[in-house]
Amino acid sequence: MNHAVARRVEELERLAPPLTAQPDLDSYWDEELKRYAAKPLNATRTLVETPMAFMEAYDVAYEGFDETPIRGWYLLPKFSREEERKLPCVVLYHGYGGSRGYPEEYASYLLMGLAVFAIDVRGQAGETGNLMPQSYGMTRGWLTQGILDRDTCYYKAITVDALKALDWAAEQPEIDAGRICAMGGSQGGGLAMIAAALSDKPAIAVPHIPNMCHMDFGILNSASSLTEAASFVERFPGHLEAVLHTLSYFDNMNLAHRIRIPVFVTVGLKDPVTMPETIYAAYNRIEGDKRIVPFPFTGHAVTGEMQRQALEFIASRLL
């Protein structure tokens, strides 16, 4: 096909921008993963009532990056529990500024026979706070907290929180630890992708329209949360190199070579937020079992068709 849409996709499939990875990227993460593996979850799960007759719902709190209690919904389908078999589980991360929402929002997964663990991202619009110390000013939003150092930045905290959510799910007695999916959209898609790169817990990953990809391009061009980092550098221009250095450790483009599990990625070609150039820059560097589905006329949204295809992918791999 020789039309503009096909040419655009072909162009994106050839994208291979230079990596921004620091020489110690892999050794840094190998050491950090060992360190956080030893950190206790200190988790609680409390049964809660919902209007859903066939849903067993638990309010969970666990610790990830620090002592902040990260809240999540752990949901089980009652009709599958009667078979006394362990369930596959989808660990879900929400978009920027969102929250875990209400348990009933995840009913479609339960109807498939999947368990769900849907977490808050710290400090955003859910019931989870943020106990990270702050030693420097930040611009609006959450992204620029601690952004001058890889060990104090907000991305480090939410990445470790996301990884520890997978650890918690894998420990639950109802869950088949070999059938876990990391999944999310936008910010959540970025977390699902970085989890696929850094955690040994997920068997598959579904990053919908993922953020945290080719972030040096994104900070310059996208309308995403990276505009907060751009505003920070506008205010403190002398810190540009430090900011880019920090972001490089959490950029899925740099970490894509570590992904060894099947991934299903979606992208909207009209998305000004998680721009297709950024997503393809990361996706093209993934080796192995992968699939990306471009939606030529979709902006920054996870459409019904995107989700339907993702659920079909999950069913084909986990059920």
> Which residues are known binding-site members for substrate?
96
Enclosing H/E stretch for 294: strand 290-295
- List the end-to-end C-alpha distance of the chain, in Å, as a whole number: 36
Which two tokens mark 264? 């299903």
DSSP, res 70: E
Q: One of 80, 186, 222, 224 is an active-site residue; which one?
A: 186
Q: Is 271 a catalytic site residue?
A: yes
- Whole-number Å distance between alpha carbons of 212 and 206: 14
Extract the annotated binding site: 96
Cβ atoms of 33 and 50 within 8 Å: the answer is no
Q: How far apart are CA 296 and CA 267, in angstroms?
A: 8
Residue 186 bears catalytic tag: yes
Distance (Å, rounded) from C-alpha 81 to C-alpha 105? 20
Residue 214: active-site member: no
Q: Distances from the Cα of 52 to the Cαs of 38, 101, 102, 146, 153, in angstroms? A: 37, 15, 11, 41, 39
* Residues labelled as active-site residues: 186, 271, 300
